[in-house]
Amino acid sequence: MERKLSMAIEESASDNDPIWRTAGAKHRRARFGWLVLLLVAAGCALTWLVFYPGYATVDARYVYADGQVWKSGAEQIGDWQSPVMAVLWRLIDPIAPGSASMFLLTLTLYWLSFGALAFIALKRSRALALATPFLALLPPTFFFVGMIWRDILFGVIWLAAAVIVFAAAERSPRLRRPVQAVALLLVAIGVLLRPNAIFATPFLAAYVIWPTRFDLKRMAIVFVPAVILSYALVPLVYYGLLDAKRQNPLHSILVFDLGGITRFSGENQFPVAWSADQARLLASTCYNPERWDTYWHMPPCPFVMQRLERPDDVIFGTRRLTAAWWHAVAAHPFAYLEHRATFMWQFLARSNLVLPVWDWLDPSSAYGHSPYFTPLVALHDVLQPTLLFRPGVWLVLAIAVCGVAWRTRSTPAGAFAISVTASAVAYVMTFFFVGLATDFRYAYWCVLATLAGGIAAMLARCRGSANPARGRWFSGASADQDSRALSSASASAPRT
């Protein structure tokens, strides 16, 4: 009889005693924390297995060569790609020379960001915490972790900047301020990697400075100064600090636009005379909305850049080309807009290049024939034409996440969701004016921001509608909140 009574008392205590419930909730959270950590570690290991030592794309090889030149001091770094990426790569290269060092940096930032998001989610929703590492394995994000492009590095750096501030948003100022300083540095590095991000920078920079809420008036006040500072930062670092050699990458945009206006106006807009056959090609075959390379080194029209860079009469990189562009846009504004709209439609809505698969067609390509990487290439071939790899889909999703999070903009989670997705939308839209190619990688920041912002938007809604009845599974913090509420009620209840 006494034994049964003792068991009944223990059972009653386990159900109703606040101290017991608090201890149980903490124990369950710890168990889920270890599970989340295991999932993140498994994702990191899978990434290593599939992609190591990382694939140095054609662009990356030029960047790496520039980094070696910078270290030796033999020549200036070029500014065609980002000289900051070249310097960064040279600094980390001793860790694992070649592509491996940049791959390890990308992998670390990528899984650090999604891992931190998972642990942030664990405070509110166990289901969402467990889902976050799996979201990091979605093909539109995971496929690129091993590809060394500045667009990928830019995306993971900005993601890391936003997430570490999100993690510290409600901490004491003494802890939060150093984190904000590091995040601002990462935001600046992102701008130096992708200068067209200057119009996306204000949203992310404002969030780093004020992470607890998104304020539209504050954003309007800081937007223009932030753009100006970002714009000034690029030449200051490129040409002032690093003394980069000017290779006039912006003039490639002018060439693409002059070719597009020529195509849609039917009149030659280049500041040179062409033969009859060349003029016919320029008005028809040469124009390709997917990339400007047809004017540079791809058949049938490399004669364009050959003429513009002719040693005895160089036009590329001079004021003559700039003046021709201004004249063409002023004389044929609708042809310019038609060209740019055609490019943007191709970029957002049609099937484009995802991975550089042609690099691995050669039987001697060890990377492309790795037994761990080959299944990913096969999956890529199936998914590449689908909506998963249309930037327009991710742009719409980013706008939707921003809209969903708007009501929670006064919370850290809502501010995070709005800020990262708004910056992603602004970033993608800059390609209307400066886009040269329609590769999916140019929308990579939008994909990362949409997923991370979606997680935060769901957390913000959990916080606004926590329901103990929905419970300990969906709302991971509800058990602790219930325990605290019971403890408070117990302490304030009258003694009888």
pLDDT value for 87: 95
d(CA 404, CA 325): 41
pLDDT value for 476: 42
Q: Do 121 and 167 form a contact (C-beta atoms < 8 A)?
A: no
pLDDT value for 26: 65
Structure tokens at 449: 């921001």
Neighbours of 388 (CB within 10 A): 16
Say whether pTM exceeds 0.75: yes
Three-state DSSP at 56 gives strand
- 87 burial type by CB count under 10 A (0-12 exposed, 13-18 middle, 19+ buried): buried
Q: Which amino acid is at 7?
A: M
pLDDT value for 462: 81
Q: Do 113 and 120 form a contact (C-beta atoms < 8 A)?
A: no
Three-state DSSP at 466 gives coil
Helix (H) or strand (E) holding 398: helix 391-405
Neighbours of 89 (CB within 10 A): 24
pLDDT value for 73: 66
d(CA 314, CA 20): 80
pLDDT value for 460: 92
150-168 vs 99-122: helix crossing angle, rounded to 10:
30
Q: Do 141 and 451 form a contact (C-beta atoms < 8 A)?
A: yes
Alpha-carbon distances, residue 144 vs 79, 156, 161, 352, 384 (angstroms): 24, 11, 19, 15, 13
Structure tokens at 386: 């689908």
Q: What is the DSSP letter of 494?
A: P
Structure tokens at 215: 């304020």
- 419 burial type by CB count under 10 A (0-12 exposed, 13-18 middle, 19+ buried): buried
pLDDT < 50: residue spans in the chain:
1-2, 4-17, 19-20, 466-496
CA within 13 Å, CB half, 405: 33
Three-state DSSP at 55 gives strand
CA within 13 Å, CB half, 200: 29
Q: Do 32 and 125 form a contact (C-beta atoms < 8 A)?
A: no
Neighbours of 385 (CB within 10 A): 13
Q: Do 144 and 380 form a contact (C-beta atoms < 8 A)?
A: no
Cis before 271 (ω within 30): no
